[in-house]
Amino acid sequence: MEDDGNAKNDDDDDPSVHLERFQQSHKKRVRKMEEEKDKLQNEIETMNSIVGSAAASNDDDIIEINAGGKIISALRSTLTVAPDTMFTYMFSGRWEESMKRDNNNRVFLDEDSELIEMIINFLRMKKREDPLRPINEPILPVSKKENFDSILNYYGLTEFFYPPPVFLPLDIGKIDIVQQQLPGSLVTVTKSDNKIKFNKVTMDTSFHSVACKPSLNASSDEGSFWKVTIDKMPQWILLGIIGSLGGTNTSHTNPTCYGWSIGSQVWVGGSSRSGDSGWTTFTQGECLHFHLNSKKLTMFSVQKNKKFVINIATIPLREYYIHFNLYSIGTTISLEPLGEEERERILEN
């Protein structure tokens, strides 16, 4: 009797069995290849459709939008101003076929028409923005602020409308200057890699407000740091922060203004407090280190070797901007980031 372990399956020697197995395996491979081919063809057709749509689109295309029942028209170039956002991708021309449309083939956005119109108007202004006079974000009714923020977040526009705060160290390259442009009133701005120089060049003696965007980091204990050097100071000058960019050139009286000026004046909420915290005055050539956090604004004078502090813990504002007010022609100051050792020094008790 033969050993079962050495038994041989007779089918292994049957040519017809081998042929059948081969044919079945071949059919499976062919079927898989056909499926992959169909999948690849579908992907090619999809990409061709996207590329074709993009190629057919033009910055000068007029796009009609039905925003909650209100028709708004805008150029494609306006709707795609904000880079790397969902809003721009939607109107780039690549996804035309997938967008919801009304009965007249207009793009339909199921949103508050007033808020969408605000967004598009802001994009229009940003398209022709003067870098020296950045566009302010829209002013909203309090009742619509939450909905507006939600819409911005959904379309990826939050940081475009509200640039993130300047965190330490101060990034000079990302700062935009806001100043009130009036006839005969001008402060020139000169930027280098690590410094911004401000020079009042008008022929009159009048207050002139200058602020720096984006907002500072005032929401944490770490806060923001910056340095100001008074290169030339014929007369009055104010250095500090402000919570509003839409004020007048008498910005020192703005309720959101906090800082120090000539003549022992300390400005707290737009009101002057003479000699508060031992403050006296600025001198030409003086170097001043500033620190703003959620509780206070601190100024350290290198020449005086002394700190001056304004408490802001009770002020209900989330945004502050570096702020200057220059009075006389020839007044020149420089703005720079603080170095690591300088930051450590101003944080010392």
For residue 88, pLDDT over 50 is answered with: yes
Answer yes or no: do 189 and 314 share one domain.
yes
High-pLDDT (> 90) share of the chain, %: 42
pLDDT of residue 225: 92
Is the residue at 20 inside a domain? Answer: no
High-pLDDT (> 70) share of the chain, %: 81
CA–CA gap between residue 17 and residue 330 (Å, rounded): 101
Answer yes or no: do 275 and 321 share one domain.
yes
φ, ψ for residue 338 (rounded to 5)?
Answer: -85, 140
Give the domain extent around 307. 172-347
Lowest pLDDT segment from 26-40, 65-79, 118-132, 334-348: 26-40
Total domains in the fold of the chain: 2
Answer yes or no: do 70 and 195 share one domain.
no
CA–CA gap between residue 230 and residue 246 (Å, rounded): 25
For residue 164, pLDDT over 80 is answered with: no
Q: What is the pLDDT of residues 276-292, one digit of tens each?
A: 778 999 999 999 999 99
**CATH at residue 220:** 2.60.120.920
DSSP type of residue 61: P
Q: What is the pLDDT of residues 318-331, one digit of tens each?
A: 688 999 998 888 89
Answer yes or no: do 314 and 228 share one domain.
yes
Looking up tokens 């003067």 gives: 130
Q: What is the pLDDT of residues 264-276, one digit of tens each?
A: 899 998 888 887 7
Is the residue at 166 inside a domain? Answer: no
The string of DSSP codes covering 239-284 is EEEES-SS--S-GGGSTTEEEEETTTEEEETTEEEETGGG-----T
Answer yes or no: do 177 and 72 share one domain.
no
Q: How confident is the model at residue 77 (pLDDT cuts 50, 70, 90)?
A: very high
CA–CA gap between residue 76 and residue 254 (Å, rounded): 39
pLDDT of residue 249: 81
pLDDT of residue 135: 79
Is the residue at 242 inside a domain? Answer: yes
Q: What tokens appear for 269 in the block?
A: 């909420």
Q: Please enumerate in sequence order all residues whose Cβ is within 8 A of that of 29, keeping only pairs 6 or more positions apart, or say none.
A: none
For residue 55, pLDDT over 50 is answered with: no
> How many residues are given for the chain?
349
The model carries a pTM of 0.54
Residue predicted with more confidence, 23 or 238: 238
Answer yes or no: do 109 and 89 share one domain.
yes
- Asked if 232 and 244 touch (Cβ cutoff 8 Å), the reply is no
67-70 CB contacts, 8 Å cutoff, 24+ apart: 67/109, 67/111, 67/112, 67/113, 67/116, 67/117, 68/109, 68/110, 68/111, 68/112, 68/113, 68/116, 69/113, 70/113, 70/116, 70/117
For residue 246, pLDDT over 90 is answered with: no
Identity at 296, one-letter amino acid code:
K
Q: How confident is the model at residue 2 (pLDDT cuts 50, 70, 90)?
A: very low
Q: How confident is the model at residue 14 (pLDDT cuts 50, 70, 90)?
A: low
Answer yes or no: do 117 and 194 share one domain.
no
Answer yes or no: do 236 and 267 share one domain.
yes
Answer yes or no: do 269 and 199 share one domain.
yes
